[in-house]
């Protein structure tokens, strides 16, 4: 008994390597970032204050960039959910061999570089790209449409790039739903849509919430996609931070922007987590 208790008491040591790694490469840099954001002067002379935060929050242009970035994430995440849910549902309804093939096709883009995929979309959405050629060939437009360097193009590409992050959690949750529940619902007279909205959709909410959190955080911080597809005409938070840090060498202001951006995203994620717990409490008591 004493040996067992002693072993259980020493198990925490197994977590030491991961804890040290987490502190060294996440907590430490994060604290350093927060500390730099309180530097009152650009030259980081050691004078502390809230000047950088006041400058950002006092400029409506900066607030517009922040709100546009957060709204961009909402639009792309909503499209990922609209396209991802039917795909995840289909994956759970086909045979095992077809299911493996579909999951492989969903995962395949993840193993491809985001830069490569984004440049491929530049070719597809360009004035001489596949989409514009098809639109002109079908007579829908006489001239090529402007699909790049606008928000619509960024949302389209973000949806394709981040779609696997929505599909995989949904597949996991949908596979765990007992099919007898749907059979029982239909046996009691409920139609397919009523069964879906009363049984399948509520039980799949944990997957929706998890996929939404993963997709949203990836969309709002997608520096490569936002920069290449949006071009110089659109400014989002990741590019703004890059410009302040690398081009203007204003590290305190860039750090303050990063902290405010992180807090904004965490607030949205916190709301989603609270919604998830609320739904779980209502479903499972």
> pLDDT tens digits, residue range 95-114?
989 999 999 998 888 888 88
Residue 187 confidence (pLDDT) above 80: yes
Provide φ and ψ at 39, rounded to 5°. Answer: -70, 120
Q: Which residues lie across from 39 on neighbouring strands?
A: 48
| Mean pLDDT in residue range 154-183 | 91
CA–CA distance, 103 with 164 (Å, rounded to integer): 9
According to the model, what pLDDT value does residue 279 have? 66
Residue 182 confidence (pLDDT) above 90: no
Beta-carbon contacts of residue 88 (< 8 Å; ≥ 6 apart): 166, 167, 170, 171, 174, 207
CA–CA distance, 148 with 162 (Å, rounded to integer): 18
Residue 281 confidence (pLDDT) above 80: no
Secondary structure (H, E, C), the chain: CHHHHHHHHHHHHHHHHHHHHHHHHHHHHHHHHHHHHCECCCCCCCCECCHHHHHHHCCHHHHHHHHHHHHHHHHHHHHHHHHHHHHHHHHCCCCHHHHHHHHHHHHHHHHCCHHHHHHHHHHHHCCCCHHHHHHHHCCCCCCCCCCCCCHHHHHHHHHHHHHHHHHHHHHHHHHHCCHHHHHHHHHCCCCHHHHHHHHHHHHCHHHHHHHHHHHHHHHHCCHHHHHHHHCCCCCCHHHHHHHHHHHCCCHHHHHHHHHHHHHHHHHHHHHHHHHHHHHHHHHHC
Residue 171 confidence (pLDDT) above 90: yes
CA–CA distance, 49 with 55 (Å, rounded to integer): 12
Residues 102/94, Cβ–Cβ less than 8 Å: yes
Instruction: Provide, rounded to the nearest whole percent, the portion of the chain with pLDDT above 90.
Output: 51
Beta-carbon contacts of residue 14 (< 8 Å; ≥ 6 apart): none
CA–CA distance, 175 with 89 (Å, rounded to integer): 9
According to the model, what pLDDT value does residue 284 have? 58
According to the model, what pLDDT value does residue 4 have? 60
> pLDDT tens digits, residue range 208-258?
999 999 999 999 999 989 998 988 788 999 999 999 999 999 999 999 999
Instruction: Provide, rounded to the nearest whole percent, the portion of the chain with pLDDT above 70.
Output: 94
Q: Which residues lie across from 48 on neighbouring strands?
A: 39
pLDDT band at 7 (very low <50, low <70, confident <90, very high): low
Q: What does the block give as tokens for 278?
A: 């609320």
pLDDT band at 1 (very low <50, low <70, confident <90, very high): low
Residue 285 confidence (pLDDT) above 70: no
Q: Which residue has the higher pLDDT, 191 or 55?
A: 55
For residue 173, which of 195, 201, 216, 206 has the smallest C-alpha distance? 206
| Mean pLDDT in residue range 75-79 | 96
CA–CA distance, 156 with 167 (Å, rounded to integer): 16
pLDDT band at 2 (very low <50, low <70, confident <90, very high): low
CA–CA distance, 89 with 84 (Å, rounded to integer): 9
According to the model, what pLDDT value does residue 145 have? 84
Burial class from Cβ neighbours inside 10 Å (0-12, 13-18, 19+) for residue 193 reads exposed
CA–CA distance, 196 with 23 (Å, rounded to integer): 45
| Mean pLDDT in residue range 186-197 | 86
> pLDDT tens digits, residue range 8-39?
667 778 888 889 999 999 999 999 999 999 99
pTM of the entire predicted model: 0.87
| Mean pLDDT in residue range 181-203 | 86
């Amino acid at each position: 008994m004493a040996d067992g208790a002693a072993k259980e008491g020493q198990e925490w040591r197994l977590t030491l390597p991961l804890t040290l790694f987490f502190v060294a490469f996440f907590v430490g840099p994060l604290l350093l970032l927060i500390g730099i954001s309180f530097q009152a002067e650009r030259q980081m002379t050691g004078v502390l204050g809230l000047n950088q935060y006041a400058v950002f929050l006092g400029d409506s242009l900066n607030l517009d960039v922040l709100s546009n970035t957060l709204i961009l994430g909402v639009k792309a995440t909503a499209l990922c959910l609209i396209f991802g849910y039917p795909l995840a549902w289909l994956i759970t309804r086909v045979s095992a061999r077809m299911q493996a093939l579909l999951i492989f096709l969903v995962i395949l883009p993840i193993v491809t570089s985001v830069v490569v995929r984004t440049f491929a979309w530049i070719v597809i959405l360009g004035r001489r790209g596949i989409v514009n050629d098809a639109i002109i060939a079908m007579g829908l437009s006489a001239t090529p449409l402007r699909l790049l360097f606008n928000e619509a193009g960024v949302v389209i590409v973000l949806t394709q790039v981040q779609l696997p992050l929505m599909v995989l959690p949904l597949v996991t949750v949908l596979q765990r739903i007992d099919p007898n529940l749907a059979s029982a619902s239909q046996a009691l007279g409920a139609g397919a849509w009523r069964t879906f909205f009363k049984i399948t959709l509520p039980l799949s909410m944990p997957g929706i919430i998890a996929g939404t959190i993963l997709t949203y955080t990836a969309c709002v911080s997608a520096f490569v996609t936002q920069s290449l597809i949006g071009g110089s005409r659109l400014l989002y938070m990741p590019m703004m931070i890059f410009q302040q840090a690398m081009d203007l060498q204003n590290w305190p202001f860039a750090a303050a922007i990063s902290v405010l951006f992180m807090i904004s995203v965490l607030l949205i994620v916190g709301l989603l987590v609270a919604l998830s717990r609320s739904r779980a409490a209502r479903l499972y008591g």
